[in-house]
A and B are shown apart, each in its own frame.
Chain A
């Protein structure tokens, strides 16, 4: 029976001690410990959230970079294409101009050649007529006193040359 009979003294000291322990621990231990645990949990959670956000940002930045790069590449291709077209056009233009110029030059040269040819023919004709006259003179000097009729034929033939 003694074992299950609570002693009043022990009850008294227990209430006193326990309430003091409760008050002291609450003020100096549990509240600071729990608040710092909460704080630390918050820090950890915040850090995790931040890390997650950073990762998402990184992925987004990476995507942005890629699209930027693709855009730049497209622009470069466009520029290259444009410049190639420009080059082709310039070369083509230059070719047509050069062709025309060449044709002009050739035409002029042909004209000149024709003119020169005509002049040369004229010159040749005159020279030939002179030579012929001289030859004829020499021939005639030998034969003319013989035949006036022949002299007339030669005259006739010469006029026909003209």
Chain B
């Protein structure tokens, strides 16, 4: 298959990048830690008030940005921060369904109804003695960001569909030229080679997957509200998408697919090795699908945030150094943002392509 070779090159390239990004990310907290101590040492000789505001923890900042939270931070730091508070929805067996605004916690400074926000921005019991599970189905930052991007997608695509009815049978025009090539690309170059005759049946599903990932990736690249959330780079989102593929593949699979797993064309004694491998592959395929999307998108966010952190890390040493470093950092961040634009498309494409191939493999009929 020509596809798989392309994919392997892409994925291996991405893997290398991912490793690079992760190593950058892992080394950041330690750098930040050193800077912190240096700064606090310096400033402890002077006044105590200034000490807090000059502290900059790159690792914490990056983690705050890429992980979910109960408020949507817009700008500012500490007490001057401006954020949108999002509703907290909790289900606890003994208390029932609880709905309140996250402003009640005052950024983790206060407890409300016996709950507090911990350091990871999660709602936990105030007293560590209570062990009753909390089902947190709050509208978090990622959920809200997902709503925004999905709404945009709905308006864009449904608007396009309605204008199709008006211009039935005519050449595409205006917004059609933006989305139609993508639809045709997904249909003719991604789905058809894998699914052949059955393409039309899976088109809505695969198109939704592609556009969902693509639009969320793009929104993630917008640095200001309502973008910037790390939606597709969140493991939960990637997990649900991969699970959907897993379910589709295994529920729609034909006899040939199961025969290939449990009765492969190898000598009987090799079943001991082959069958566990095949069963592992069954789970591994969607798992890798999930990991690839999560790692690529998260790495993209981390690298750009890491670059920006450099300004503040150097700025903390001396403001002049910060100013000198910033043009280079901005140039690099622009380069990375452009690369991430490509990655945003590439990841949506790869996810859809692999899903199509997996489904195609499961639907293969006996033709030996």
Contact = CB atoms under 8 A, between A and B. Distances in A.
Interface bracket on B: 35 or more
Nearest to A7: B236
Interface string A108-140: 000000000000000000000000000000000
B169 A43 contact: yes
16 contacts: A3-B66, A3-B67, A6-B234, A7-B140, A9-B138, A9-B140, A11-B240, A12-B137, A14-B240, A17-B146, A25-B157, A25-B207, A29-B158, A30-B204, A30-B207, A32-B162
Interface of B: 63, 66-68, 89, 120, 122, 135-140, 142-143, 146-147, 150, 153-154, 157-158, 160-162, 164-165, 168-170, 180, 183-184, 187, 200, 203-205, 207-208, 211-212, 234-237, 239-241, 244, 294, 298
Nearest to B138: A9
Contact of B154 (A2, A5, A25, A39): A25
Interface of A: 2-15, 17-18, 21-22, 24-26, 28-34, 36-37, 39-40, 43
Contact of A33 (B143, B153, B183, B205): B183
Given A28-B158, A29-B161, A10 B204 contact: no
A130 B143 CA distance: 167
Nearest to A6: B236
B231 to A, nearest CB: 9
Contacts of A30: 161, 203-204, 207-208
Contacts of A31: 204
Nearest to B170: A40
Nearest to A1: B120
Contact of A9 (B120, B143, B162): B143
A31 B183 CA distance: 12
Contacts of B187: 34
Contact of A26 (B135, B208, B240): B208
A125 to B, nearest CB: 121
Contacts of B120: 2
Nearest to A39: B169
Contacts of A37: 180, 183-184
Contacts of A2: 63, 67, 120, 122
A10 to B, nearest CB: 4
Given A2-B120, A32-B164, A39-B168, A10 B140 contact: yes
B158 A10 contact: no
B204 A9 contact: no
A25 B162 CA distance: 12
B137 A34 contact: no
A39 B237 CA distance: 35
Given A14-B237, A39-B168, A25 B140 contact: no
Contacts of B294: 4
Contacts of B236: 6-7, 10-11, 14
A113 B353 CA distance: 125
Contacts of A5: 235
B289 to A, nearest CB: 15
A40 B180 CA distance: 12
A5 to B, nearest CB: 7
A14 B147 CA distance: 10
A26 B153 CA distance: 13
A6 B294 CA distance: 11
A9 B97 CA distance: 13
Contacts of B203: 30, 34
Contacts of A22: 204-205, 208
A13 B137 contact: yes
Contact of A36 (B68, B165, B239): B165
